[in-house]
């Protein structure tokens, strides 16, 4: 038996919409690793969203804050959706996912883009373009226009209203996320493409200069290229195989990762890890809460299950166990289980829980 003090603490926060049901499946996968592979973990489930709000007046009640505070890894489901319009914006903001990313300084958001051949006919691009696509987007997650000040909505003297935000990056904010990208590239095909809008934005001019400086100082063995974000958006659908590791700022990464998600055949296939400077991480599917299909057992749990693989890789340091999950998912897909795109519910051939069964049977 493992000594409890060596246990990795995992907070499981299903959240809203389809979050709880997809997370229930990935939690089964975690339990399997604990029971069958001796992976030392203690799980603590905690609530987020409308239900705790109605009970406590907080979307993120104290028990959930405590569970996350003591956790080494957070398995997050999803947040948001029309069913939660009862929650006033201020209450939602007080317990937001953005706040969490910022609080734990999870500045590097890894979003792997792998095209699964079994899903290529549900992808909108030709199989010949998708074949062999395997890259990772590293999105800076705690700065940029999402957090820059000043921001607001003001009324001008002439009565018009003006909304404004600030795109910004500091030397250290760029360097630490670029470092994550170079280090990851060294474990892969050794290529980094840095994406910015340096032909227009000063924040991007600085971004590019800092990436180049770090590359020269410490990572000259890694191949580095630069791309403007508009061109990157085009290249992702034109020739996605050219990418190995793409590193970019917060909002460009938000947009490009949804676009790149379509290469996998379904945004329901995309896991993510949000990491800081230690082993603590927040692991979540890239998809949202999809309230229109919540509770129907048709949401695709694979993105959440693949997020558990990332957790085993980055927080537990268990590469072999992480690959075991990824192989199981590949096998399930190759065996012909077609998952729904969470935005096209009619397509799912087997239910959410049955998909969990299939993955467990393939581990
Ligand atoms: C994402 C989401 C979030 C973001 C939303 C829910 C605030 O789109 O994780 O990509 O914009 O970061
Ligand atoms: Mg997004």
Judge whether residue 362 has pLDDT over 70: yes
Instruction: Answer whether 45's CB lies under 8 Å from 108's CB.
Output: no
**Rounded CA separation 312/324 (Å):** 10
**Rounded CA separation 67/53 (Å):** 17
pTM for the whole structure: 0.92
Residue 257 CA, closest ligand 1 atom number: 10
Structure confidence at residue 94 (pLDDT):
82
pLDDT in tens, 321-337: 999 999 999 998 888 76
Judge whether residue 312 has pLDDT over 90: yes
pLDDT in tens, 121-153: 778 899 899 999 999 999 999 999 999 999 999
| CA–centroid distance, residue 221 to ligand 1 (Å) | 33
142-153 residues labelled b (16+ CB within 10 A) or e (exposed): bbbbbbbeeeee
Structure confidence at residue 106 (pLDDT):
97
Structure confidence at residue 335 (pLDDT):
80
Q: Could you give the residue ranges of the DSSP H alpha helices within 195-271?
A: 202-218, 229-238, 250-261
DSSP 299: S
Structure confidence at residue 187 (pLDDT):
96
SS (H, E, C) 57-95: CCCCCHHHHHHHHCCCEEEEEECCCHHHCCCCHHHHHHC
Structure confidence at residue 345 (pLDDT):
44
Closest residue to atom 10 of ligand 1, CA basis: 254
Closest residue to atom 3 of ligand 1, CA basis: 254
Which pair of structure tokens corresponds to residue 195?
Answer: 């994406």
Structure confidence at residue 116 (pLDDT):
85
pLDDT in tens, 169-212: 999 999 999 999 999 999 999 999 999 999 999 999 999 999 99
Which pair of structure tokens corresponds to residue 4?
Answer: 């409890």
Q: Of the bound ligands, which one is closest to the alpha carbon of residue 272?
A: 1
297 or 13, greater pLDDT: 13
**CA proximity to 264, closest of 111, 109, 80:** 111
Residues of the chain with pLDDT > 70, as a percent, come to 94
pLDDT in tens, 62-105: 999 999 999 999 999 999 866 567 888 888 888 888 999 999 99
Closest residue to atom 8 of ligand 1, CA basis: 254
Which pair of structure tokens corresponds to residue 2?
Answer: 């493992």
Q: Could you give the residue ranges of the DSSP H alpha helices within the chain?
A: 19-37, 50-56, 62-69, 89-94, 97-103, 127-130, 171-186, 202-218, 229-238, 250-261, 302-314, 319-334, 352-362
Which pair of structure tokens corresponds to residue 152?
Answer: 């607001």
| CA–centroid distance, residue 4 to ligand 2 (Å) | 36
| CA–centroid distance, residue 51 to ligand 2 (Å) | 24
**Rounded CA separation 100/64 (Å):** 12
Structure confidence at residue 124 (pLDDT):
85
Q: What is the mean pLDDT of the chain?
A: 92
**Rounded CA separation 362/328 (Å):** 5
Question: Could you tell me if the CB of 210 is within 6 A of ligand 1?
Answer: no
Structure confidence at residue 2 (pLDDT):
47
User: CB burial class (10 A; 0-12, 13-18, 19+) of residue 3?
Assistant: exposed
Question: Could you tell me if the CB of 254 is within 6 A of ligand 1?
Answer: yes
Catalytic residue list: 146, 197, 230, 254, 258
Chain centroid, CA 122 distance in Å: 21
Structure confidence at residue 1 (pLDDT):
45
Structure confidence at residue 348 (pLDDT):
53
Structure confidence at residue 42 (pLDDT):
96
Structure confidence at residue 283 (pLDDT):
98
Mean pLDDT of 284-310: 92
**Contact partners, residue 77, CB within 8 Å, separation at least 6:** 13, 14, 15, 16, 18, 19, 20, 22, 23, 48, 284, 285, 289, 304
Mean pLDDT of 50-59: 91
Q: Which residues is 46 bridged to in the sheet?
A: 13
Residue 141 CA, closest ligand 1 atom number: 12
């Amino acid at each position: 038996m493992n000594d409890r003090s060596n246990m990795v603490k995992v907070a499981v926060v299903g959240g809203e919409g389809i979050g709880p049901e997809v997370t229930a499946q990935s939690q089964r996968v975690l339990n399997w690793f604990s029971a069958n592979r001796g992976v030392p973990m203690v799980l603590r489930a905690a609530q987020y969203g409308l239900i705790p709000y109605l009970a406590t007046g907080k979307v993120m009640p104290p028990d959930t804050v405590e569970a996350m505070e003591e956790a080494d890894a957070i398995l997050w489901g999803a947040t948001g959706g029309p069913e939660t319009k009862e929650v006033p914006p201020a209450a939602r903001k007080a317990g937001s996912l953005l706040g969490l990313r910022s609080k734990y300084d999870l500045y590097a958001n890894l979003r792997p883009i792998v095209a699964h051949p079994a899903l290529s006919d549900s992808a909108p691009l030709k199989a010949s373009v998708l074949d062999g696509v395997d890259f990772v987007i590293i999105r800076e997650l705690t700065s940029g226009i999402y957090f820059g000040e000043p921001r607001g909505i003001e009324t001008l003297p002439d009565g018009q209203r003006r909304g404004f935000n600030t795109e910004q990056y500091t030397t250290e904010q760029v360097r630490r996320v670029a470092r994550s990208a170079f280090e990851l590239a060294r474990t892969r095909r050794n290529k980094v493409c840095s994406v910015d809008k340096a032909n227009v934005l000063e924040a991007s001019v600085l971004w590019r200069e800092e990436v180049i400086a770090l590359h020269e100082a410490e990572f000259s063995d890694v191949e580095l290229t630069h791309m403007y974000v508009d061109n990157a958006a085009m290249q992702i659908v034109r020739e996605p195989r050219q990418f190995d590791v793409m590193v970019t700022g917060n909002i460009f990464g938000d947009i490009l990762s949804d676009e790149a998600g379509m290469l996998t055949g379904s945004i329901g296939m995309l896991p993510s890890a949000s990491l800081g400077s230690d082993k603590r991480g927040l692991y979540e599917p890239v998809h949202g809460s999809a309230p229109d299909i919540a509770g129907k057992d048709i949401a695709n749990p694979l993105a959440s299950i693949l997020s558990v693989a990332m957790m085993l890789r980055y927080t537990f340091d268990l590469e072999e166990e992480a690959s075991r999950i990824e192989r199981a998912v590949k096998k399930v897909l190759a065996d012909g289980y077609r998952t729904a795109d969470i935005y096209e519910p009619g397509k799912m051939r087997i239910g959410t829980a049955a998909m969990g069964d299939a993955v467990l049977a393939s581990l």
